[in-house]
Structure 1
Amino acid sequence: MLDRLTLPQPWLSLMLFVVWQFLSGGVSGGSAVLGLLLAWGIPQMTQGFWPERPSVLKWWRFPSYLAVVLYDIAVASVQVGWLIVSGRKPRPAFVTYPLSLDDPLAITLLAGTISLTPGTVTVDVSDDQRRLLIHALDATDDQAVVDAIHQRYERRLQEMFQ
């Protein structure tokens, strides 16, 4: 009985309540009651669709990871811009990246980070979730791409998730 009264996704419930208040044109008694019912009911009805909770064990390491990613995005943007302006032909390559991460959220974060960085995009994740296929816009050495991703991103994600 108490399981039905809990909020399975508290952040989703809070977001639903706040969005409902904005959509209803202001806070009133009726909109607050309906917002609370929606904030409780929708997560209850969709509970089976949600994966298990993320297993980030060392969440305090995320700001430094985010800082590295934002720095790399800025640097890669300049590098890709310079490649375009200079007229030099890029050396595109498909690189297979061996994963040492096990957590699905960590793998998703790594794949997203690679795709957010200009000049690289994650094309595919293997069925066994042990390899990523990455397209690099300008890569002279496949191993250099693998080493850079491991040192800059995967190692930090391992520290967060293990």
Structure 2
Amino acid sequence: MLTAIDFQGGPGTGDLMDAVEILKELNRVGGRKVPAGAPASFVPARYADYPAKARRGGDDSAFRHYWEMCVVLVLRDGLRSEDVFVPGSRRYADPGAYLFTPEQRQPRWAEFCRLVRKPPTAAEVIARLVEVSGPATAARSEPTGHQSTTHPDQRSDDPKETAELNRTA
């Protein structure tokens, strides 16, 4: 399976993809021992003890079995989550292939904006907001002379009721 399918990884899958290549090579040459520098950072925490104990105990055969099982499990999970993809596949395609490039997006942008009934630029959005809200927006945007940036609940000018409660306490 590993030799027939060209698995590709997205961001953060470098160690897994390196492990897949090492496993392909071990299968090709009939190797039994996983190289000492083989990555294991992709191994899920729930399984990490198995290959670690086998490595510490010097049991290369058990380490190979555990490590290989983790490679296959994480590869499966990566395909499901679309972190790993297969070029040319419909089901496991690169998620980035579904996105438009800027060159592809530009001719479609006007039609999209028309369909969702939104202006195509931020300047047009602002102009429409000012047009709709009219003088109320202009009045709110004029300076008031008050420079306070505190929240109304934090101001020192307490209501009468609060002052009376503070005196009785």
Give the TM interval when normalised to the shorter protein. under 0.3
TM-score (ref. length: structure 2) = 0.22
Choose between structure 1 and 2: higher helix proportion: 1
Larger C-alpha radius of gyration, 1 or 2?
A: 2
Choose between structure 1 and 2: higher strand proportion: 1
TM-score (ref. length: structure 1) = 0.22
